Structure 1
Amino acid sequence: MSEKKFNSKENGWSDLVKKEDWWAVWIGLILVVAAVILWSLGSSIKFITAKIPKWTDIGVLFSALGNNIWSIVLLFVVFLILFSIANLFLHYRFKDFFIGFLLLFILSVIINSFSSWGWAQKYNLEAPLVALFIGLIISNLFSIPKWFETALRTELYVKVGIVLLGATLPFTLIVKAGPVAFLQATVIAVSTFLIIYFVGTKWLGLDKRFAATLGAGGSICGVSASIAVGSAIQTKKEHVSVAISLVVAWAVVMIFALSIFIKVTGISAGAAGAWIGTSEFADAAGVTAASSFGDKAITTFTLMKVVGRDMFIGIWCFILAIISITKWEDKETGVKANASDIWHRFPKFVIGFFVGSIFLTILLSSVSPAAAVTVNSNVIAPIKEIRTWAFTFCFLSIGLTTRFKQLTAVGWKPFAAFSTGAVINVILGYLVSVVILGSYWSSL
């Protein structure tokens, strides 16, 4: 048997402060706990969300930025402190990170300001998606300085965002969505993943980790799933970039294709929203398509996409990390993983995702209906705003570290695998949402 060992070594309790995954958990949960404590004291964490209101006139924007300047500064300081403490233990230089993060934050403020513009909101150009495009443009036109790269901590930002995502998706939402919605999301998400994975590995000969990353992006929640799963199974950076590019490209195509087909065939709003929720890869693109069919379509889309599918990100990271360690790497190294290897490599930010979700579930179930309303407005809503900032940092970092040459170097096979899954996903979504459960969604 080969003497080669897994490249991880159990370091005991020191891992709690030496691993990026754990710092994502600590940062995310610190923000969640702070939000709950402030709510219990009759206040709210809203004062650091730096929320930029919708605007249609540039004068209104400048006025809003002026009025929110201290909230913006406080948000920067809070993130800087939390990330800097993490970087201290992860051995990153504070000076380089500070300068780079300051520039990253300023770019994020500009992007969030753009996304708050009435025209941008009309087309649901959410900040993370805009950040991705802006980052791609900058990185492919200009050279990124080394000192800036220190602040482009893609995985740390997305992992913090995912922990915060868990705190905005209490398990009670699954109950509200109903067993039908959850079952439909499960069947289609699993089917789509397996199709992309099978086509990619069996027919096209793609690396298992690459195919799994493509499958996650096309079956769960698009860009976030591609990054999170790619990190959990340790796929190559360029493979994650390819998956993200395919998600974004197909998401844009689906906005127009689904909207036109629904209007031509006269599908009801409820069924239309559910179909969009099972077929769109990105929340922003899905909302864009669903919003043209009214509030009912947006409601059913939310149940299917945000609750039914986005919740899978933690579950898939857990499952695929175990498979990667015990099956794929076992064959590569000739060494069978033991329990400590599995625990050491397990994506710890998934723990933060579920802890945040369970914490908010317990809180909501233990208070009166009136208090639950204030929890939603003073805890969950602000956490969503902070989560958007974390995802903006992440997607901007992705764009700033991605070169189009890297994407074209992998050839046509990833596109073929992903597109096969996307097409079958749309067909399955139509059959289940419109043909089989059309009356259910229409009457919901």
Structure 2
Amino acid sequence: MEENKKEEQFVTERASSSISDLWKKEDYWAIWLGFGLLILGIFLYFPQGPEGMEDKIAKANATLRAESEKAPFKTVAWYRAVDAKKKLKATGSATGKWIKKFTSKPHKWSGNPFQAFFLGDGGTAAKNEKAKPKYDEAKKAEAEALALATASEKAAETAGFKDQALNAEAVKAIDAWHSAHTKASKAKKKAGAKSYNQIFYLVGLMIFMAIFFGIGMQVMGTPFVEFVRGFVFVFLIAILAYTAASNATMKHYGIGYAAWAILFGLIISNTVGTPKWAMPAVQTEYYIKTGLVLLGAEILFGKILSIGVPGIFVAWVVTPTVLISTYLFGQKVIKIPSKTLNITISADMSVCGVSAAIATAAACRAKKEELTLAVGLSLVFTSVMMIVMPAFIKAVGIPHVLGGAWMGGTIDATGAVAAAGAFLSDRALYVAATVKMIQNVLIGIIAFCVAVYWCAKVDCVEGQKVSVMEIWHRFPKFVIGFIAASIIFSSLYGAMGKDVGYVLIDHGAIRGMSKIFRGWFFCLAFTSIGLATNFRELKEYFSGGKPLILYAFGQTLNLILTLTMAYIMFYLVFPEITAKI
């Protein structure tokens, strides 16, 4: 019994393997469950391409080619052709719309939290009426901008596109129109809100997820009924976290569900205490590992290569440099007693936040309290950086491509990177998200390297050679699912081609299945972290503030090196790639 308690303190069990692990270990269940959802996504969305998809894509591509040959800049027709392709989404099918309703999180609200779950016809009408003036204003601004853009483009065309001043004026006017068009589209969406009742869907989703995860728990030794009873409690807190995060003010300041989930869990666990009957469902690693397998499908090699070598250098050269430097700083300079805490924080900060922390903690057998501490630091710094960095970039006039690469390589969470990039521009968002995607590839590599290093240097016995099997025992197996999902979906994306892949994979199996469920699984994991954490147990790790010093040092180094590398790669070595973004 005492031995079991000791084992429960760690992210993974002691090194051992057997064939029964395939159905008795959560790493493998994460793979089976994750791939089950991915296969379901393929089955549901691949036959659901929009009507006339190939003809519409061909027509849009013909326009893009013609406009590219005609003008030395992106014309109004060019942007309209791009927008036409973007509207083609498998998630727009009847199946996709139903799945979106079924898996939808609490809606945005302000003033009345009940609106996160229910909005009747009366409330919808009032909401639309309130949004209509802004939409009318945005629509008028778009029309005026379009007229100016069309006239400017015509003037440049009349001059044979040889007058650089007219060309520059046309580019400026077209960019202004496209920005106004985007704003008008968003305003139209707000003015066209529809009534909803999310309560019954959330109940159905809870039942589905309880069964989904409960089957694995039953096979792994936890009674199904006990898990389901506890899962209801965990799921309700997850909903509460999403509700808080969907508040208009919280959305404005970028305070997401992860912070709320951990906070609510911590409040419960450190006041009244997490109920014992709920503990069978407090399964941080089970939820997040399944989510990470789904994340693998979202890392498409075709997208990674879209910004080429500059992005790879920013992500794959700086990241390991920062990780190793931070780890050495922790060991040699501030002398953190726990090597597992040191490497977990270093990976969390340098690679991609929580996902890397989970994989690294599993590889080095870190204590669960150490993982919680690393995740907590990551969330705090991420919340600050996603607001401060875009504001700083805009204030000092850093080019948006450079700023996007900088944020993509330094802000931990993928969602926070996207939000920060969106604060600047579409170009910044594109570069930031792509660099972060490239960086995410390192999750598996880092986990493997940490497993090898820990076997050979940290947990080694003097005079004993490290066997391949020892490394295999320690290696977090769910990473195999993560890598396999990435390879399979990248291959499918490549075989289909960029345009069809965008419709059926990116805006089908991924955004209509993988990404939706991954968000829920991560929220359940963050809730579990809070519910399983006791401040008294964390106190010893904060001795002298060393973890905070370590994180601050590593992130400072990360900010400096990433900005330097991004500038060198995007503006000095490969300016031609930057010009095409």
- 1:335, distance to aligned residue in structure 2 (A): 4.2
What SS does the corresponding residue of 1:292 show, helix, strand or coil?
A: helix
Distance in 1 of aligned mates of 2:17 and 2:394: 57
- Which residue, 275, 298, 303 being the options, matches 2:406? 275
1:420 maps to 2:553:
yes
Structure-2 separation of matches of 1:247 and 1:49? 31
Tell me if structure 2 keeps the 8 A contact 1:55–1:117.
yes
Structure 2: gaps (5+ residues): 1-12, 49-94, 120-194
Match of 1:63 among 107, 118, 121: 118
The aligned amino acid for 2:281 is: A
CA contact (8 A) 2:494 2:501 kept: no
Deviation at 1:88, TM superposition (A): 1.5
Aligned match of 1:190:
320
Superimposed CA distance per residue, residues 158-216 of structure 1 (whole angstroms, 9 cap, x where no aligned partner)? 10010010011122221123221012111111111011111112223333322211111
What residue number does 1:308 align with? 438
Residues 7-406 of structure 1: pairs in structure 2 closer than 5 A: 7-11=14-18, 13-42=19-48, 43-44=95-96, 46=99, 50-52=103-105, 54-56=107-109, 58=112, 60-63=115-118, 67-206=197-336, 207-305=338-436, 307-331=437-461, 335-367=464-496, 369-370=499-500, 372-382=502-512, 383-406=514-537
Are 1:28 and 1:164, in contact at CA under 8 Å, matched by a contact in 2?
yes
Change in CA separation of 1:37 and 1:190 when aligned onto 2, cut-off 3 Å:
same
Partner letter of residue 522 of structure 2? F
**Distance in structure 2 (CA, Å) of the matches to 1:79 and 1:27:** 11
Identity percentage of aligned residues: 31
Q: Normalising to structure 1: TM-score of the pair?
A: 0.89
Change (3 A) 1:436 1:170: closer
Deviations 1:293-321 (A, max 9, x none): 2222222211222x122222122112212
Counterpart AA for 2:29: W
Shift, 1:436, TM fit: 5.7
Q: Is the 8 A contact 1:273 1:290 kept in 2?
A: yes
Query: Residue type matched to 2:561 in 1?
Result: L
* 1:229-284 per-position Cα deviation (integer Å, ceiling 9, x unaligned): 11222111221122122212322343454345323322122221211222222334
Q: Distance in 1 between matches of 2:386 and 2:489?
A: 33
| CA gap 1:394/1:269 in 2 versus in 1, 3 angstroms | same
**Worse-matched range after superposition: 28-37 or 424-433:** 424-433
The alpha-carbon distance between structure 1 residues 371 and 161, as it changes in their structure 2 partners (threshold 3 A), is closer
Q: Give the C-alpha shift of residue 18 in structure 1.
A: 1.3
Q: Residues 252 and 8 (structure 1 numbering): CA distance in 2 closer, same or farther, change over 3 Å?
A: closer
The SS at the match of 1:330 is coil
Q: Indicate the SS of the match to 2:281.
A: coil
For residue 352 of structure 2, give the secondary structure of its aligned residue in structure 1.
coil
Q: Which amino acid aligns with 2:229?
A: I
2:137 corresponds in structure 1 to none
Q: In the aligned structure 2, how far is the partner of 1:49 from the partner of 1:130?
A: 23
CA distance, structure 1, for counterparts of residue 470 and residue 399 of structure 2: 51
**Higher relative contact order (CA closer than 8 Å, sequence separation 6+):** 1
Distance 1:53 1:284 in 2: 17
Specify the code of the residue in structure 2 equivalent to 1:392: C
Amino acid across the alignment from 1:433: A
Unpaired runs of 5+ residues, structure 1, are 1-5
Q: Indicate if the aligned counterparts of 1:128 and 1:388 stay in contact, CA closer than 8 A.
A: no
Alpha-carbon distance between aligned partners in 1 of 2:101 and 2:459, rounded to the nearest angstrom: 43
Q: Any conservation in 2 of the 1:218–1:418 contact (CA below 8 Å)?
A: yes
**Gap change, CA 1:340 and 1:436, over 3 Å in 2:** closer
Cα drift, residue 396 of structure 1: 0.9
Q: Deviations over 1:86-107 (max 9, x none)?
A: 1122211323211110111122
363-372 or 102-111, which moves further after superposition? 363-372
Q: State the Cα deviation string for residues 327-360 of structure 1 (Å, max 9, x = none).
A: 32224x7643423332233211001101111221
1:3 alignment counterpart: none
Counterpart code for 2:475:
F
- Give yes or no for contact 1:318–1:350 (8 Å, CA) kept in 2: no
Larger radius of gyration: 2
SS in 1 for 2:455: helix
Match of 2:562 among 426, 429, 434: 429
Distance 1:110 1:252, change over 3 A: closer
Figure out how many residues of one structure are paired with residues of the other and give that number.
436
| TM norm structure 2 | 0.70
The one-letter code sitting in structure 2 at the alignment partner of 1:398 is I
Secondary structure class of the residue paired with 1:278:
helix
